[in-house]
Structure formats: C-alpha cells, structure tokens
Structure 1
Amino acid sequence: MTKRILRDIIEIDDDLCDGCGLCIPSCEEGALVLVDGKVRLAEEARCDGAGACLGHCPRGALRLIQREAERFDERYASGMQPSATQSAPSLESLVAFGKTAIPQRPAAISAGCPGSRSMAWNTTPSSVSVPAKAASALTQWPIQLHLLSPGSSFLRARELLLAADCVAFSLGSFHGDLLEGRSLAIACPKLDDPSGYEEKIAEILAHCDVPALRVVIMEVPCCGGLLRLASTAAKRAGYQGEIEVIVVSRFGEILQRKSLTPTPSPNESTGCACGG
C-alpha cells in the first residue's frame, strides 16, 4: 500500500475551471490533464506541490492545499514522460510565432527538481544569431528587485520588465528583444528571500505610471513563483495596464507570450515616493 503523508498538493475548483488547459504545460511532471472539458489531477504522485501551475489559470481555479496524499515521485521530475493515456501536452505545443525547429532536448543526468537538474548541450555556431559585440540596453542601476527603490526616477512612465535571474543568460537576444526601452527588475523566485517583493512591485505599479508589466520567466516549474508574485502585486495595486508573461526555454527560445487580464483590488493601496 502506498504511504500517504500530509503535504502540499494542487486542488482544482470544478466550478471555476473552464477547461482552457493553459495550466497544463506549466507542469513538467504531467500532473494535470484535461478530462471531459475539465482539468484533473492525473495522479497525486505526479504533483510536487510547488504550484508552478497556479499563475497560469485566468479564472483562479487552482490552489495549493495541505492534505494527506501520496508522496511525490521524484522519477517524474527526472524526465519520465506521462503515459499516452494521460495525454499531457508536450513543451513543443507552446512554441509559437512561426518556429519550425526545436533543439534536441538532452537527457537529464541527475534527478530532482527540473529547475536544478544538471544538463549540458552543444550550440552550433549557425544557431547563434546575436552579434558578439551587441550593445547593452541596460540604462539603470540597481536591477535586483531586493535593492531597487520604488522611488527611482527611471521607473516612472516606462514599461517594467520583471525577469527571472536566469533569463538573460538563456536568451541571447534578451537586450534587443526584451530589455530595450524598459526599466528592469530581476529576481529568483526559488533562491531569493521574497519578503517585501509583493509590496515593492505593488508600489511601482500603483504610483509610477507604468504602462505595461512584462514578466519573463524560465520554463522550469519553480519560475512560476515570480508570475504569481507579480499577479498578486498587480491585483493589490489595482493595476489596469497591460500585463504580459513571456516564457523562455533553457535552450534560448521564447516559447510563449501571453497577455493576462488584470484583476484589480481597488480597496488596496500602497504608498510610493516616485512622484505619483
């Protein structure tokens, strides 16, 4: 008999779920599947309780709860694919904007969380299109969210690019395609102490005339925490501007660009020193 323990696991609200399936590709372990027009938990052992799927549901149908469940099976985090009967969408289904070729995914050489799994691959010279001496598009300092002051003048009336730390190293065209003309805040949802992050982002969005918030994350599940943080901050600030999430692969591709609908909370307010 499989041992059950008290742990975090995903719960799906059938009344709120409309079966759009946007959450499914965010779970690398294949824990979420579409059955009869509703998202279901394929099996408890596939859910690691990290909550990478939460920020991808536009209707708020997903939440983490603590209950007795089967232990998470680490084999699913080490590259084991879902069975054919589960029909979990592959990562390739996220590729958009005319992509015709997908780099060959290397085999994992250690188990564990996909975000910390050891991997190595070769990049052919012909696949690197960024000039060796491309100019930097960075126009501010500091950039780390922990050090950033909401009162900084460079934040006012500019789009804010909130990027996971690893993005700029994975995406060769980061400066030209994403950073140019925008202010920047970087953070790691897995390794940083996020204390105060939500409040700081909310201050900036509420009072610094930010026309758009663009959240750039890696494809790994732990990066979903940055999207959840940004979404909560936007709601807290009553933010009405454009919100876009951009997902980048470990192999240097933009896999997905998706606009999110702000869900303001007008009763929430924060202070800011940037002149708003």
Structure 2
Amino acid sequence: MNKEICYKCERKATSREHVPPICLFPEMKDTKGINYRKDLITVPSCDVHNSKKSDDDEFLLLSLSGLMKNNPVGNFHQITKANRSLKRKNKDFIEKQILRNHKYAKIKTTDGKFRLVSIGNPNTERLIDCLEHIAYGLYYQEFEERFEGEIKMVLEFIEYADENMQTFKKMLKKSFELEYESNREIKGENPKVFYYQFLKPDNFGLIALRMVFYETAETYVSFKGKNAKEPFDLGMKFIQNGFKTTFEVGDEKFEFNK
C-alpha cells in the first residue's frame, strides 16, 4: 500500500476509498438479506480524500436517496438509513445543508396514496464536488492511473435556471442513450444502486463518463487530460455567442437560444 499513490492527489495512499461511498449502498439489516454491498469498487486513497470527507459522503446519501424519481431501492434507502441519519441532525439541517428554501409537500403516487416530499434548491456546488471525487475514483479504476486535467460535469437530475443548460442536459441524455444502444458495456456489480459507462475518447482526446444512481439520477462527466487538444465545435461557439442553433441527435432536435 505504501507504494501506491492516492487516486486524487500525489500523496501516498494510506487506505482504500469506496467509489461511490459505501453509505449509498443499503445494509443487509435493512434489505432482509439482499446484499447490495458485494464487490464494491475501492481505490487507493490518502487520509485527506477518504476518512476526512465522511460528512460529504453523508451529504451525498441524503441528497441522492431523497430524489422523487428513484427506483424502489433508492426510496427504501431513504426511509431507512437516510431517515436514521436525519433524526440525529438539528431540525434545520436540511435547510442549511441539503436544500435551500426547503419546504414539505404532498404528492400523489401511482397507487393513489400521498407521499411527503422535500422541495427546494439543491446545494449544487457541494454536489458537484462530491460527484467529482467519484469520477476521479472511477477514472483510476478504469485506466489504473490518476487523472490530471480538467473535469466538467452536468447533473441531469437537477433543474438549471439557464434554459440552454436544460436543453444541453437533455441532449447529453439522448446522446448517451444512443451510445448505450450500440455499446451496452456498463459497469457496476450493484446496478440497482449504481452503475457507470465510459465512452471512447473523441477526436480531441476528451473522455466521457455517465454515472447513474438508483437507476435514474444521471451525471455526465467530461475528462480533458492535460495533454488533450483544445476542443473546438462551431455549433457550441454559436450557442455561446447567442445565435439560435439546432442540433440533431438521433431522431430528436435540440434548439438553443430560442
């Protein structure tokens, strides 16, 4: 272990970090014997990027397990482990740490019952920081080396105030759906909790990654290595400069600057 380098920095590894954090995977005491913690991914880590970020791991658990569109595993994890965690917090914890302008609301479920849900503005900056750690870990797992360069990330499961960003995330989702049809290589031994998919580098050397939590919450990541070419896309330049631009992806059209 002492010869290994941390997945995130140049420090020597002193432990191994679960990628994603183990707390996102339900415990057997809550699942009546179903083991969602088998064959989890771990990568070498220093103390700074493992034991000292436990608060971020809990934040991620509370943020992702509470999404309304989660599969039954995510919903069950929310009413068990996540709720136990919340009971240990101050009553204003959600407002201060998870959702700004937080309030409760009742929604009608498909079986005609009502469910109490939380509504508010997510702490996007902290979410991105937590998800970046996972992306770095998966890159290390996939390529057996630490990523050096620039990461950009789009969260499909949040609503962006900018209309172009909303359209862009829908276009990314469609692009990955088409890629999945032609390349079904997804990884992750517990896909009901988490799975991921890397795409081959494009002509600029950029590498794309899709991470999916509880079968619905998707995050799209772009890795631009330190030796990658500076990408240039005329259509994206038009968007950035305010021109009305349309992209066709499969059988769908995506309009920007409408």
Taking structure 2 as the reference length, the TM-score comes to 0.31
Taking structure 1 as the reference length, the TM-score comes to 0.30
Higher strand share: 2
